[in-house]
Structure 1
Amino acid sequence: MGYAVVVAWLVLAAIVVLTWGRLDTDRGWRGFVLALTLGLSLLHQLLFATVTEDAFITFRYAQNIADGNGPVFNPGERVEGYTNFLWLVLIALPRAAFGADVETAAVVFGVLSALGCVLVSCFLVNRIVASATPPGTEPRPALGVAAAVLTASAGGLAVYGPSGSEVPLFVLLVLAVGYALAARRPVVAGVLVAFAVMTSPEGLVVGVLAGLWLVGAALKEKRSWWAPVGYVLGALVFLIPRLAWRATFYQHFLPAPLAAKLGGPLGSQLAAGWPYLSGFALAHQGFLLLGVVAAVALLLRRTEPAFRGLRVAELPARGEAPVVPAALRGLRVAEAPAVVAVEARALIWLLFVTAAGLAAAAVLVGGDPGPSWRLLAPVPPLLAVASAAVFGVLTADVEGKPSPRPRSSPARLVPVIACGLAGIAVLVSVFSPEMLGRVRDWRAHGTELAEIGGWLGEYLPPGSVVSAAAPGALATHGGQLLIIDVFGRTDDHIARDGRHEGGISTDYDYVVNDRRPTVAVPADGGYAERQHCAIDPVYAGKYEVATFRRVGTPYWVSVYPRAEQAKSLVADLDKGPDFRYVPCPS
């Protein structure tokens, strides 16, 4: 599959570079190249095709919603162990309505969202560039294709597209907020921001920055004050009912995963966050360099408004041009407070600042243990869109006179640079041990945990309680087992009152003595390569070690049955044909 992705990139790059001029003028050809770009994105996603542990936690909630148990991880326990409410509702609907498999629905929605990111990045660039292009000069929609190619090559988006997680939907919503602002639809932008916040906590960063951008535009009289007011109202229409329901149903405003992650000292979170960001920067040097060069060029190149001297009412009605406010009609652009070329530059800066804000937020929360920098997945698409838009804005004909298609060397280099950086990103996905290698290990561990969960669910007594460090896959495949997350992501007491260290929260005394699990599964990475007979000290005394060999493999799994039930529990688990009990040497 890795070689197929590389070949797909080579074919697409050759077509884009050789037909670059035609992409500006031929809509049908441009659509064909966009279709090829979507194909590259799909192959890139299939290269990874791995469902995440966090996604399995959401699947458990979605299954309980569809089955009538409510939004709970364990029936009867009201704990908000997720931070992606909108995604949870979305993937629960097909099961509730048609009995569809939650995991399949989540993977399909994720892949479609990632493909949507490719398209929206194209449309957003073209919208920004068109707004800065003077009358009489044709816009250059080929720049949108360049942004789409870069977005399709972004490794983080490809990893999480088929992961079953909310990441691709969140990236799509972030880009859609930018498009709504470019289209001068602040109420729509507010609604989309509310959806982003309900999809991922990082949506707050996007919402605050977009709101400040609108307030700044109003202060400079580029937009009326109704723009930020409408934006806030559009967001609050959805966020207030959501917060009210959260407070009444869960009795908390902060979800358990966030409480567990943010309860530690800021210094320890920063200590984990900086390496997280540096690893991302090392793997995404191409995107970062492109963004830095584009930002510096935009900062140094200060042009006069492209429409100076024209009346706003004389601006041509172009499919992608912004709607001119009625209040500005008849005014000269030199006198009008909302010059669209200036606003295009401001919107580009918003994209850059949003990327930086999301990076800062990832550092402040201490990063994320998953591969491929999940928290930073929106950054490469944002940089791709902003950089392509910078070139379009800075090369617009500032005199407003008709001119032939640009044939200068910089214009010819655009497809070469875009496709070259896309190729580097694809090669990083295929060959970097931090990308495909880690994801393959991740996939193997998830498969193994799912097998362990299915085994425990089938052979443990009904209603058994299992404590685990990786509760998602165990719970999703464990039937009606009650699962305790020892790191507090689905347990309010551990998340809020436990000991916080290294981005996790623990309280083993509470687990052992209050929750009293029937069986503990200490490993969070699936099978072990050898028999482990030592017991974790936190379980010593009240639990025993039972080791099982996976039949037909050299792999082992250790579980800790409660001491007073150990004999019967081991006998029950030994009935499974796929696992054979092997006593530890005395």
Structure 2
Amino acid sequence: MQTDAGHARRSPPLILSLLLGAVPVALLFLVVRHLGGGLIDDAFIFCRYAANIAAGQGAVFNSGERVEGFTSPAHALVTAALVTMGIEAPVAAWWVSMGAAALSLVALCLFRGAPGLCAALLAIAAAPFALWASTGMDSSLFALAITISVLMVEADLDRWRRGESPSPISKRTWFAAGSAVIVRPEGILLLMIVIAIAPRHLTSIRGVGGPLIGVAPVILLTLLRGAYYGDWVPNTFRAKVGGGGVDLWARGLDYLADSGIALAPLVLLASAHAWRVLRRRETAAVGTWITVALAAGIVFEGGDHFPMHRLAVPFIPLLCLASSRLIWSLDVPGRARSVAAAAAVCLTATCSLQPAMLERFRLELTLARTWDSMGREMLRQLGSGHSIALTNAGAIPFRTGWHTIDMIGLLDRHIAARPVRLGHGYTGHEKYDSAYVLNREPDFILIHTWIWRSIVSGDEALRRVSGDANLDMSHAPRFRSTYYLRWLAMPNGFVALYERRRGGP
């Protein structure tokens, strides 16, 4: 029987690994093209932050307002770096997410050769991994950080157990594990697991140096966040998780269960592999514990409103690597292992490509394109320098450049801090404060997030409102008396925009 340690000792040459990695990378782009990926609206939040950073205005959404309304400083900074090179922010964000997914596949092949190639093919077969790679979001970048860190930890532990290194975890690996928190807040879970699996490293003063290197990025990011934003956690955390409890966690558990069903072949194979390595205390158990920790993080966060299991994407490469290792450990002829690997790829693709979920995902892409065109047309017809309040604070604010009030609080400190019991409304959209928004007197309020085919009466428009925050606003007497309905003609319909009356009701 072949062991994981055996594979580590027989790592393939660099050139061969890169050639192996080129295969899944090419397939990734083909799969994305076939399934029809693209940017979603929240990616434009990163784009606006990145554009402001590149323009020298700082890491802000609205000029002069320091609110951390994004989940990944690393994603925003890398996107901003590409913007400074003359690349448009949405294109830059797309390349960051696609590039990170591609590098994850290369890393698997680079570290593990043929089993890594199998893992990479399994990852491509998992529809969430490929589709979210195309969205311009930070999921793929976090998956890359997790994958590389786990592979580095395993390589270090292998060398240590063979007596080739005095320390179980090298300083560069500690730094990589700690730096994952710069990609997403859940990166702290990775560092905690690495600290937990290296207890011998902490038994001497000298040994504490490694963990301190790992903790350093966490401390530095926290201090910078406090100094720049005046807060110790991202504003998005307060908006989505602050005030959570049992109900929020129950919803997160449901989300995790749905993701587990979609990724059932990988979960089953990875679980069988975990049972084996945990009993034998093998190096590969690292990926198991980190996967469990990230899954627990999903429960704590209460899941996500986006389709296609976005929060599971970061540990999909780990599930694929564990599944591949199980297949490659089978004491059967090589052809039989290849057949088993092909079957696993087919089953993964079949289970993960859920038609209803795919349609919901494509709807998100359609909405993003719709709001992108709405923002362009609003800027053309109304000009710059306005302010707007809305719940879909992505493409429209990015294209108009208007000062924006996010009615669900991701980009607003006051709304995010509201003491709301979470877990009962639409995920991530449960906090709102219409009175506060009206007190800020935005020039426009958008409560209809679609393009109308024809113009309707004001009363009819107010009867056709969706979303808790939008409904609450539409029922506010001050909104009805202070704002009037204005229709903007679009190439394919009309936008219902509420404009503030000048000089009072």
If the length of structure 2 is used for normalisation, what is the TM-score? 0.84
Which residue is equivalent to 1:527? 451
- With over 3 angstroms needed to count, the CA separation of the structure-2 counterparts of 1:142 and 1:461, relative to structure 1, is closer
Deviations 1:355-398 (A, max 9, x none): 12111111111111112111110222111112333455x66xxx
Paired position in structure 2 for 1:264: 243
For the 8 Å contact 1:498–1:507, the answer to whether it is kept is no
Q: CA deviation at 1:106?
A: 1.7
Alignment of 1:219-258 (within 5 A): 226=206, 229-258=208-237
Cα distance per residue 1:121-160 (max 9 Å; x no partner): 2334x3xxxxxxxxxxxxxx42222122112222222112
Within-5 A mapping of 1:148-297: 148-184=120-156, 185-215=169-199, 217-218=200-201, 226=206, 229-297=208-276
1:373 is aligned to 309
Give, in whole Å, the separation in 2 of the partners of 1:566 and 1:430.
Answer: 53
Check if 1:76 corresponds to 2:64.
yes
- Residues 178 and 215, structure 2, Cα contact 8 Å, conserved in 1: yes
Structure 2 match to 1:557: 495
- CA distance in structure 1 between the partners assigned to 2:495 and 2:435 by the alignment: 24
Contact map agreement 1:83 1:198 (CA 8 A) in 2: no
Equivalent residue, structure 2, for 1:114: 101
Q: Is the 8 Å Cα contact of residues 533 and 547 (structure 1) preserved in structure 2? A: no
1:93 aligns to what?
A: 81
Contact 2:445 2:497 in 1 (8 A): yes
Letter of the structure 2 residue corresponding to residue 275 of structure 1: D
Tell me if the contact between 2:379 and 2:399 (Cα under 8 Å) persists in the aligned partners: yes
- What are the within-5 Å matches in structure 2 for residues 397-476 of structure 1? 408=332, 412-428=335-351, 430=353, 432-435=355-358, 437-460=359-382, 462-476=384-398
Deviates more, 1:240-249 or 1:171-180: 240-249
Larger Rg: 1
Report if aligned partners of 1:149, 1:419 keep a CA contact under 8 Å in 2: no
Instruction: Find the partner of 2:287 among 347, 351, 356.
Output: 351
1:311 matched residue in structure 2: none
Distance, in Å, in 2 between the alignment partners of 1:500 and 1:463 is 36
Inter-CA distance 440–213: structure 2 relative to 1 (3 Å threshold)? same
**Cα deviation, residue 33, structure 1:** 4.9
Change (3 A) 1:475 1:565: farther
Q: Is the 8 A contact 1:48 1:439 kept in 2?
A: no
Whichever residue aligns with residue 176 of structure 2, its letter is: L
CA RMSD of aligned residues (A): 2.8
Distance 1:421 1:88, change over 3 A: same
Moved more, 274-283 or 25-34: 25-34
- Of 468, 486, 505, the match for 2:431: 505
> Could you tell me how far 1:527 is from its partner in structure 2?
2.5
Task: Specify every segment of 5 or more residues in structure 1 that has no aligned partner in the other structure, as ranges.
Answer: 1-22, 127-140, 303-341, 396-405, 568-586
> Can you list the C-alpha shifts for 1:220-255, whole angstroms capped at 9, x where unaligned?
x9xx8755x343222233333322221111111111
Which string of whole-angstrom CA distances, capped at 9 and with x for unpartnered residues, describes residues 382-427 of structure 1?
Answer: 11112333455x66xxxxxxxxxx6x35x54332222222223334
Secondary structure, in 3 states, of the residue corresponding to 2:431? strand
- Does the 8 Å CA contact 1:543/1:563 hold for their aligned counterparts? yes
Distance 1:428 1:72, change over 3 A: same
Distance in 2 of aligned mates of 1:81 and 1:116? 27
Q: Distance in 1 between matches of 2:389 and 2:206?
A: 52
Residue 67 (structure 2) pairs with residue 66 (structure 1): no
Where 1:147 maps in the other structure, the secondary structure is helix
Secondary structure, aligned partner of 2:284: helix
Matching residue of 1:388: 324
Distance 1:267 1:509 in 2: 29
Q: Bigger shift: 151-160 or 483-492? A: 151-160
Shift of 1:505: 1.7
Distance, in Å, in 1 between the alignment partners of 2:263 and 2:444 is 43
Given candidates 482, 492, 496, the residue that maps to 2:403 is 482
Deviations along 1:430-470, one digit per CA (max 9) or x if unpaired, are 552213x2221111100111111122223335421100101
Q: Deviations over 1:200-222 (max 9, x none)?
A: 1111111111111112x547x9x
1:429 CA drift (Å)? 5.5
**CA 548–457 in structure 1, closer or farther in 2 if over 3 Å, else same:** closer
CA distance in 1, matches of 2:133, 2:78: 15
| C-alpha distance in structure 2 between counterparts of 1:249 and 1:51, whole Å | 29
CA contact 1:152–1:158 (8 Å) conserved in 2: yes
SS at match of 1:540: helix
* Contact 1:149 1:418 (8 Å CA) reproduced: no
Verify the 8 A CA contact 1:362 1:375 in the aligned structure 2. Answer: yes
* Alpha-carbon distance in 1 for matches of 2:51, 2:18: 39
Query: For residues 146-200 of structure 1, what are the alpha-carbon distances to aligned partners after superposition, in whole Å with 9 as ceiling and x for unaligned?
Result: 1221122222221121211111111011011112212325322222223310111
Paired position in structure 1 for 2:163: none
Distance 1:351 1:24 in 2: 19
Cα gap change, 1:89/1:27 in structure 2, threshold over 3 Å: closer, same or farther? closer
Q: What does residue 495 of structure 1 align with?
A: 416
Partner of 2:25: 38
